């Protein structure tokens, strides 16, 4: 059950593309939508010094308030529930984290590209810092061309859940179920395996030919065993959900590049991808290497991501 959905906005139409997703979640859960804007104090350079211009700063803050007022009115044309907002001065990530704690936000919804405080979002420090520090899960979505359409629901019925066989990756599951259960979901549990290869296969010439053939056969046997174990693991993870009548597909993929394998699967009948990350290292320890970073950057559908402190 979602009670509060936090949406950081920077005043751009790019940032507003998080709102259709937030409204979709709110409609299903009857949650409050809380908008937050990080106000940046306006200092002016004068005689090689930074001078605070209170009059101009007040004008900027007034424009920000007017923008949020107008945005709330637009949302209320499409959502009858509670919509609130806050302007808070300070570092963007600190402001978002503070508001998430103050409002007991269940999820933070935001775009992966924007202007202003959230500019160069995934490439900059904001995404990585939020993923490393946020107590609430993040729901990331890419902006589309033109203005965001608040009247249409975002499809959220088909969930791709990559799992690597570790408890670390499995920590995303409670967040997935909390959101997905609002939408009569169908899950696809995906396990990506790197191909099993020996360090060196002797050239198939002369007396080495039988040895090379034996090595190849052994590698093929090991690969099949690994895939069988991976399928059994996914079936174990799916069993409790299937017992409750929920739809869970399981898929094992073999690919040298797990991130690409996840993105390829996400392009086919998938509405959401969910990922767990490591709390101390941001995007660096999900599945293998920088897979989460690649998926967040390249995924065309929303990505639910949450850190794990273990």
CATH topology identical between 1-154 and 155-310: yes
Half-sphere exposure of 2 (CA within 13 A, CB side): 34
The architecture of the domain spanning 155-310 is 3-Layer(aba) Sandwich (3.40)
pLDDT at residue 274, as a whole number:
95
Q: Give the confidence band of 51 by pLDDT, cuts at 50, 70, 90.
A: low
Handedness of CA 76, 80, 86, 92 (dihedral sign): negative
Stretch 180-197: mean pLDDT, rounded? 93
Q: What is the domain partition of the chain in residue ranges?
A: 1-154, 155-310
Q: Which residues 6+ apart lie within 8 Å of 190 measured at CB?
A: 160, 161, 162, 163, 234, 250, 251, 252, 253, 261, 262, 265
Least confident of 3-12, 64-73, 112-121, 294-303: 112-121
CA dist., res. 202 & res. 207, Å (int): 10
Q: Give the confidence band of 211 by pLDDT, cuts at 50, 70, 90.
A: low
45 has a pLDDT exceeding 80? no
SS3 82: coil
Handedness of CA 193, 199, 200, 201 (dihedral sign): negative
79 has a pLDDT exceeding 90? yes
Across all residues in the chain, what is the average pLDDT? Answer: 84
Q: 89: which strand partners?
A: 39
Calculated CA dihedral for residues 119, 125, 130, 132, nearest 10 degrees: 160
Q: Which two tokens mark 305?
A: 């991501």
Q: What is the pLDDT of residues 87-145, one digit of tens each?
A: 999 989 999 999 999 999 999 999 876 444 444 444 346 667 787 788 999 999 988 77
Cβ of 62: how many Cβ atoms within 10 Å? 10
CA dist., res. 56 & res. 86, Å (int): 20
Least confident of 79-83, 145-149, 245-249: 145-149
Percentage of the chain modeled with pLDDT above 90? 56
pLDDT at residue 307, as a whole number:
80
pLDDT at residue 301, as a whole number:
95
Q: 34: which strand partners?
A: 6, 84
Highest mean pLDDT among 127-136, 141-150, 180-189: 180-189
pLDDT at residue 276, as a whole number:
86
Q: What is the pLDDT of residues 225-266, one digit of tens each?
A: 999 999 999 999 999 999 999 999 999 999 989 999 999 999
Alpha helices in the chain (DSSP H): 13-16, 19-29, 54-76, 92-102, 125-133, 167-170, 173-180, 209-243, 258-266, 291-298
Report which of residues 77 and 168 the model is more confident about. Answer: 77
pLDDT at residue 22, as a whole number:
98
Per the CB < 8 A criterion, the answer to whether 141 and 302 are in contact is yes
Q: Which residue has the tokens 């767990």?
A: 276
Class of domain 1-154: alpha beta
pLDDT at residue 105, as a whole number:
98
pLDDT at residue 198, as a whole number:
58
pLDDT at residue 207, as a whole number:
52
- Cα distances (Å, whole numbers) of residue 86 to 67, 81, 97, 125: 12, 17, 13, 23
CA dist., res. 127 & res. 117, Å (int): 12
Q: What is the pLDDT of residues 55-77, one digit of tens each?
A: 878 888 899 999 999 999 999 99
CA dist., res. 72 & res. 61, Å (int): 17
């Amino acid at each position: 059950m979602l009670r509060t959905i936090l949406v950081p906005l920077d005043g751009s139409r790019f940032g507003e593309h998080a709102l259709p997703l937030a409204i979709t979640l709110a409609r299903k859960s009857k949650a409050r939508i809380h908008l937050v804007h990080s106000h940046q104090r306006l200092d002016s350079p004068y005689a090689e010094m930074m001078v605070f211009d209170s009059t101009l700063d007040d004008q900027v803050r007034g424009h920000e308030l007017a923008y949020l007022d107008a945005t709330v009115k637009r949302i209320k044309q499409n959502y009858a529930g509670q919509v609130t907002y806050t302007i808070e001065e300070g570092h963007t990530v600190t402001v978002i984290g503070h508001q998430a704690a103050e409002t007991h936000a269940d999820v933070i919804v935001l775009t992966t590209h924007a202007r202003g405080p959230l500019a160069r979002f995934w490439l900059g420090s904001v995404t990585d810092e939020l993923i490393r520090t946020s107590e609430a899960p993040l729901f990331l979505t890419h902006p589309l061309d033109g203005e965001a359409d608040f009247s249409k629901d975002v499809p959220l019925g088909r969930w791709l859940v990559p799992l690597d066989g570790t408890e670390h990756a499995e920590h995303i599951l409670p967040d997935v179920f909390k959101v997905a259960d609002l939408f009569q979901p169908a899950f696809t549990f995906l396990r990506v395996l790197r191909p099993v290869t020996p360090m060196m296969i002797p050239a198939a010439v002369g007396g080495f030919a039988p040895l090379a053939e034996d090595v190849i056969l052994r590698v093929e046997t090991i690969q099949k065993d690994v895939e069988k174990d991976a399928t059994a693991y996914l079936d174990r993870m799916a069993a409790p959900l299937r017992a409750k009548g929920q739809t869970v597909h399981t898929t094992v993929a073999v690919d040298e590049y797990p991130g690409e394998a996840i993105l390829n699967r996400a392009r086919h009948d998938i509405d959401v991808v969910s990922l767990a990350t490591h709390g101390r290292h941001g995007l660096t320890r999900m599945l293998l290497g920088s897979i989460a970073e690649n998926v967040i950057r390249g995924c065309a559908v929303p990505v639910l991501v949450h850190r794990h402190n273990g």
